[in-house]
Amino acid sequence: MMNENEELKRICKEVIEQIRPDEEDRRRVKAVTDSIIAKINEKALEMGIEAHAISVGSTARNTWVRGEADIDIFIMFPADLSEVDLKEKGLALAKSVSDRCVERYASHPYIHAYFYDAERGGRRTEYEADLVPCFSVKEASLLKSAVDRTPFHNEYVVKRIYGFEDEVLLLKQFMKCLGIYGSEQRRKGFAGYLCELLILHYSSFAELLRNASRWQYGERIDLEGQGTYKGEGKDPLIVIDPVDPNRNVAAAVSEYSFCRLIDASRDFLVQPSMNFFLPRKEEPMSEAEFMNLVKERGTEFVMVVFEAPDEIEDVLFPQLRKAETSVKNMIERNGFEVYRSDVCVEGDKAFLLFELLVWSLPRIKKHVGPPVTSEYHSEQFKGKYITTKLGKKTLFIENGRYVVEVERNYTDVVSLLKNELKSCSLGKHVAESTDKGYGVFRNEEIKFSEGLGYFFRDYFGGI
């Protein structure tokens, strides 16, 4: 009978055979990459621009999963160039080599472009590539922008990753299927560079899982032993950047992603299975299925819907999370109780979702005043509440304090949100969008789309 260690090895071998690019895949990607670099360098000469292109990222390091070859080309400019000239010349040069591209923004603008490989049998394959202008600084301590660090990352990994590429692929696929791969704000998971460093540190996918299964909050990894980053207890995982000792490569990893990896590592080691490497293939939740779940749970779902601000995800999602927290706090300050909440963006709409345990309250509420023994404050309190526009209030004494019954401003969450949402701290772009209008919908009023169906499938699905 095969033991668990042998089963683990068998599964990993089978997964690698499925996700490792073959030689033809790699040859095609390299040909496209070399072609883009040659075009950029030729155009730079033609335009009289002092710059040259290099390949970085997973395709440069053979750590990309089959079918997911995102090509990263960095256009290196002299370090003494101004930010304005970098932007102007960098974008002009990047746009000149592609007929189809869109401008995106990180620490400064870059181009996301589309290219085709050479025709074979009447077919051509389309590849996506990020063309990123950056400063060619001599060392990482002289950075002028965050992206200037990437060529140093590439150099560090390329020198060390040979022989470990398959282990990186296993880790990436494992994390993708857990929903924790990628450092973007929507996900707050593990970036590709972080995966490579983890494998370099632990030497194999299996050894990483064995260690991750025992990780504690504040786990610290320092490959070069020269880290100066402290973290002050705010990061669940600290992985010192070997090219910048005062930086945590895992800073984007959320507590959820950290814990999800720990939990899945334990489960996989106890019972290895191919299922850990297979993406969930679930149908979007239907409106009828959603309403059945609402009835079974006995909770109330309230959704705020507005036009999604035209911003990149890494700007938009932190603001949505900020709005979510602020609105949740306002709901609970008014006496209601939020069970869970979440945010999403589908198409041109953004959503704030609140699942409530208490969503309707009586008209009256108890307002507790000062201790009876505090003469001055007692007189102030009685003077305010004994006679009001609504007539004389009845005072009570409970636990040594004055108590008076007052009327609530809102007895249901929908009314509260319709009237007081703008009083919350929503973030600049979310506030501007809701200024143009927003809707508040409950349970059966929530309008379903396929995207929203997938969102609710994940919401109810758990880990």
- Domain boundary residue, one of 249, 277, 305: 277
Question: Taking a C-beta distance cutoff of 8 angstroms, is the pair 39, 51 a contact?
Answer: no
- Domain membership of residue 154 (yes or no) is no
Same domain, 190 and 307: no
Enumerate residue ranges in the chain where pLDDT < 70: 1-4, 119-122, 387-392
Q: What's the 3-state SS for 132-172?
A: EEEEECCCHHHCCCHHHHHHHHHHHHHCCCCCCHHHHHHHH
Strand locations in 40-190 (E): 52-56, 71-78, 101-105, 109-116, 126-136
pLDDT value for 94 = 95
DSSP 309: P
- Domain membership of residue 81 (yes or no) is yes
Distances (CA, A) of 448 to 16, 46, 434, 454, 455: 38, 53, 21, 10, 10
Same domain, 53 and 118: yes
Look at residue 115 and give its three-state secondary structure. Answer: strand
Question: Taking a C-beta distance cutoff of 8 angstroms, is the pair 416, 331 a contact?
Answer: yes
Beta bridge partners of 120: 123
Q: Label residues 20-57 b or e (16+ Cβ within 10 Å = b).
A: bbeeeebebbbebbeebbebbbebbeeeebebebbbbb
Same domain, 177 and 79: no
- Domain membership of residue 354 (yes or no) is yes
pLDDT value for 311 = 87
**Secondary structure (DSSP) of 381-401:** HHHHHSEETTEEPPEEEETTE
CATH number, domain containing residue 23: 3.30.460.10
Tokens of 124: 């051509």
| Alpha carbons 7 and 271: distance in angstroms, whole number | 9
Same domain, 247 and 294: no
| Alpha carbons 315 and 427: distance in angstroms, whole number | 10
Tokens of 87: 């932007």
Helix, strand, coil shares, percent, the chain, to 5: 45, 25, 30
Tokens of 384: 């305010």
| Alpha carbons 99 and 82: distance in angstroms, whole number | 27
pLDDT value for 391 = 57
Same domain, 298 and 396: no
| Alpha carbons 104 and 130: distance in angstroms, whole number | 9
Residue recorded with tokens 């401008």: 103
Same domain, 169 and 241: yes
Residue recorded with tokens 């509260």: 416
pLDDT value for 1 = 37
Tokens of 161: 């990753």
Same domain, 334 and 455: yes
- Domain membership of residue 4 (yes or no) is no
Counting the structural domains of the chain, the total is 4
CATH number, domain containing residue 186: 1.10.1410.30
Question: Taking a C-beta distance cutoff of 8 angstroms, is the pair 263, 178 a contact?
Answer: no
Same domain, 333 and 188: no
User: Residue 223: which of 278, 167, 279, 157 has the closest Cα?
Assistant: 157
| Alpha carbons 193 and 212: distance in angstroms, whole number | 17
Question: Taking a C-beta distance cutoff of 8 angstroms, is the pair 190, 250 a contact?
Answer: yes
Same domain, 169 and 78: no
Question: Taking a C-beta distance cutoff of 8 angstroms, is the pair 154, 141 a contact?
Answer: no
- Domain membership of residue 39 (yes or no) is yes
- Domain membership of residue 9 (yes or no) is no
**For residue 201, with 0-12 CB atoms within 10 Å meaning exposed, 13-18 middle and 19 or more buried, which class applies?**
middle
pLDDT value for 384 = 84
pLDDT value for 389 = 47
| Alpha carbons 355 and 324: distance in angstroms, whole number | 12
Same domain, 342 and 394: no
Question: Taking a C-beta distance cutoff of 8 angstroms, is the pair 331, 338 a contact?
Answer: yes
**Helical (H) or strand (E) element with 307:** strand 300-307
User: Residue 35: which of 110, 164, 131 has the closest Cα?
Assistant: 131
Same domain, 243 and 309: no
- Domain membership of residue 204 (yes or no) is yes
pLDDT value for 5 = 83
pLDDT value for 4 = 67
User: Residue 196: which of 23, 57, 27, 55 has the closest Cα?
Assistant: 57
Half-sphere exposure of 324 (CA within 13 A, CB side): 19
Q: How far apart are the first and last CA of the chain?
A: 30
CATH number, domain containing residue 418: 3.30.70.590
- Domain boundary residue, one of 277, 297, 325: 277
- Domain membership of residue 70 (yes or no) is yes
User: Residue 178: which of 239, 266, 250 has the closest Cα?
Assistant: 266
- Domain boundary residue, one of 277, 309, 327: 277
Full residue range of the structural domain in which residue 382 is found? 364-407
pLDDT value for 252 = 95
Specify the pTM. Answer: 0.90
Same domain, 331 and 422: yes
Q: What angle do the packed helices 150-158 and 192-202 form, to 10 degrees?
A: 30
